[in-house]
Amino acid sequence: VISGIGGAGNIVFVYTTDAAGTHLIGSAVVDSTGNWSMTPDAPLLEGLNSLTLETQDPAGNLIAGEAPAYDITLLIPTGTEPSITSVVDNSEPHVGPLQKGEATNDSTPTLNGTAAAGDIVTIKDGSTVLGSVTADSNGKWTFTPDTALADGNHNFAVTATDPAGNHKESGSFPIVIDTAAPGASDVAANDDVGDLTGTVNDGDTTDDQSPTFSGNAEPGSVVDIIDNGEVIGSTVVGDDGKWEYTPETPLDKGDHEITTVVTDPSGNSSDPSPGISFTVDPDPNQVTIGSVNDDQGPITGSMTDGNVTDDARPELTGNGKPGSVVTIKDGNDVLGSTTVQPDGSWSFTPSTDLSDGDHSLTATSVDPAGNDVTSPAFDLTVDTVAPG
């Protein structure tokens, strides 16, 4: 049992550096009194184990100023009965001792064990003899297969033979060898912010800076979510083959390409998935009718709200969000539409004459993310008939 102190609510990840390298052996959450404790998920190897830790706060930030290493030396006692004390994975990315029944991408794992000093230890995989070694003067033995083992289930056991020819057998140690890369995951994005929600298709614009990504992959695998070539998070695939991830840090405004890489429980990684590209635009939509211009008759120029004009096709100008589509209405009647320019300006001139009488003009803007907004009304009266 390994224990210590820390900031309440923080997560402590414990690592060991041993003959097989550095690997995670477990984690714990610091309780409200500032204490934590854990029992290693993976067994320690015999010999020197240098324990170190890494701490994250609840937001996922690493905390500087870690405790110094804590070194212990593990000595596994030996007896006359043969045993397999550990099966070690030597292939990246997950190296270190395996638990019974665990999967590995190492097709030549190293077996370690004990027996009476001088015994000949025969290693079997089921009924197949893999080889034999002699226990040393301390009763220790180690064995690595010369030939790669096939993918699938393996059940290791050993038989110790003493100089008099007596045989003793160990218990079994099952593992699964899996060296095949998993298939790539599909990936979809979902927007749940603003006026337009739902699936974000390739090439779309969204105002959701934390869209939810989802897909399907091999159960138990880890899916890394990659944004423009940088990993922004990861999640574990459920037993139903589905995964889901919502970024903890909002995506920046601009263009994004999301891909994924799947790593199965054995440590095999897939090729990157086909990407989905979209633009994040969180800026609020806006639109105004800045002016209505009369360029007919003796009185011309910009009008104010409520003016009378003899121009049946006055020019409307205003400002809005670049790229938005502005639709101009006269009451409930649609006169036409235009697009806001990169500088935020727009202009529109009716293609048909407005009838004589009162008119209430509005502009409704729909931005690329699907948000719509309507300007205040601009009222005017059209009078094109000469007086008596």
Q: Give pLDDT tens digits for 16-43.
A: 998 878 888 989 999 999 999 999 987 8
Does the domain spanning 188-280 belong to CATH 2.60.40.10? yes
pLDDT digits (tens, 9 = 90+) for 185-222: 999 999 988 888 899 999 999 999 999 999 999 998 99
Q: Is the pLDDT of residue 77 over 70?
A: no
| CB-count burial class (<10 Å; 0-12, 13-18, 19+) for 12 | buried
Task: Please report how many Cα atoms fall inside a 13 Å half-sphere around the Cα of residue 165, on the Cβ side.
Answer: 0
| pLDDT band of 95, cuts 50, 70, 90 | confident
Q: What stretches of 247-370 adopt beta strand conformation (E)?
A: 254-263, 276-280, 287-294, 301-303, 308-309, 315-320, 325-330, 333-339, 345-348, 357-366
| C-beta separation of 374 from 361 below 8 A | no
pLDDT digits (tens, 9 = 90+) for 99-115: 999 999 999 999 999 99
Q: Tell me which amino acid residue 275 is.
A: G
Residues 106, 107, 110, 116: is their CA dihedral positive or negative? positive
pLDDT of amino acid 39: 94
What span, in angstroms and rounded, lies between the C-alpha atoms of 148 and 108? Answer: 5
Model pLDDT, residue 152:
95
What are the tens digits of pLDDT across the range 341-365? 999 999 999 999 999 999 999 999 9
CATH number 2.60.40.10 is the correct assignment for the domain at 287-382: yes
Cα–Cα distance list, 175 to 98, 114, 232 (Å):
8, 19, 32
Q: How far apart are CA 57 and CA 75, in angstroms?
A: 35
- CATH for 2-74, options being 2.60.40, 3.90.380, 2.40.10, 1.25.40: 2.60.40
Q: The tokens of 48 are what?
A: 């020197």
User: By three-state DSSP, how is residue 147 classified?
Assistant: coil
Which tens digit of pLDDT belongs to each residue from 263-316?
998 889 999 999 899 999 988 889 999 999 998 888 889 988 999 999 999 999
pLDDT at 131: 96
79 Cα distance to chain centroid: 48
Structure confidence at residue 299 (pLDDT): 86
Which residues lie below 8 Å from residue 49, measured CB to CB, with a gap of 6+?
Answer: 16, 17, 18, 71, 72, 73, 74
Predicted local distance difference test score (pLDDT) of residue 257? 96
Omega before 58 within 30 of 0, i.e. cis: no
Q: What is the pLDDT of residue 311?
A: 93
CA distances to 19, 21, 28 from 50, rounded to whole Å, are 10, 10, 18
Q: Which residues contact 110 (CB under 8 A, 6 or more apart)?
A: 87, 88, 90, 142, 143, 144
Chain centre to alpha carbon of residue 339? 36
Task: Say if residues 101 and 72 touch (Cβ distance below 8 Å).
Answer: no
Helix (H, G, I), strand (E, B) or coil at 113: strand
18 and 44 in contact (C-beta within 8 Å)? yes
User: From edge to edge, which strands make up the β-sheet containing 47-56?
Assistant: 21-29, 11-18, 47-56, 70-74
pLDDT value at residue 79: 65
What are 208's two structure tokens?
């959701």
Element (H, E) at 128: strand 128-134
> Amino acid identity, residue 328?
I
Domain borders along the chain are 2-74, 83-177, 188-280, 287-382
pLDDT of residue 110: 96
Contact present, 170 and 81 (Cβ < 8 Å) = yes
Domain 83-177, CATH among 2.60.40.10, 3.40.50.1820, 2.40.50.140, 1.10.40.50:
2.60.40.10
Average pLDDT over residues 313-325: 94
pLDDT at 279: 94
Percent of the chain with pLDDT over 70: 99
